[in-house]
Structure 1
Amino acid sequence: MENLTAYLDESLVPLEQKVKEYLEIEREITLLEVKIINQQTKMAASDDTDHKESPAESAQPQESDLGNKEQMLEELLQRYNEKKKELINMLPEQNKFIEVNLGYGPSMIGYFTTDLETHQELNEPILRIVH
């Protein structure tokens, strides 16, 4: 009979922690991307409608803030890719899911080197997390 609680194994806790960190970084990237897009949209709208102030004076603080957010996004993407590599190195097998406990029941993580549909070799491994 299959062990249905294997995902509760204590030896998987370090992997689970890394997965949670990875997912948190992914969430931060998504939120920051939305903020950047919103700010770009507001800047474009204000350029079209704002003729009272000179464009250089009104756009400068917004552009520096946008530059800071873009820099933060680059740093987050770098951390994201590092975590992805760490997770791939921690996984025992390729092309197979393993169950982990992320706090809300069994979840699965795996990295795949072949496309599941075409069975073609991929250029780089794809990390998949089902949660």
Structure 2
Amino acid sequence: ELREKRGWTQEGLGDRNGYSSTHISSVETGRKLATLRFSRSTDRALGLTGTEASFERELGQIKHGSLLEGFPEFLGYERRAAEIRLYEVGVIPGLLQTPEYARVLADSAVRRQAITADQAQERVALVAERQAAL
């Protein structure tokens, strides 16, 4: 979006950040994950280094946050969906989890040191929020 607002093509950004337009397209469409190196070079090209809007900051939030990368975007699709079809092995999908089940999953992630206690609370609250939208 920032690239487009500046009127830059993917090739134009590539000239500025050192990546091919194919790579940029893959990151923009979610086929490839942005790396720290990519994020920093893109921040430099767009003049975002050290700002609230920087890609490096966003990447850090994704890596250290309680939600998986891409999950916030998934929630947008979920809210607009008329029908959702899921196949899960081993874990009940969030929309069908009881608060107790969601808490057990989150607490288990804390015990494995995959997330913090605060992140666990955030996950449980998000499950409840998603269910309330039904």
TM value normalised by structure 1: 0.25
TM value normalised by structure 2: 0.25
Structure number with higher strand proportion: 1
- Greater relative contact order (CA < 8 Å, ≥ 6 in sequence): 1
- Which structure has the larger Rg over C-alpha atoms? 1
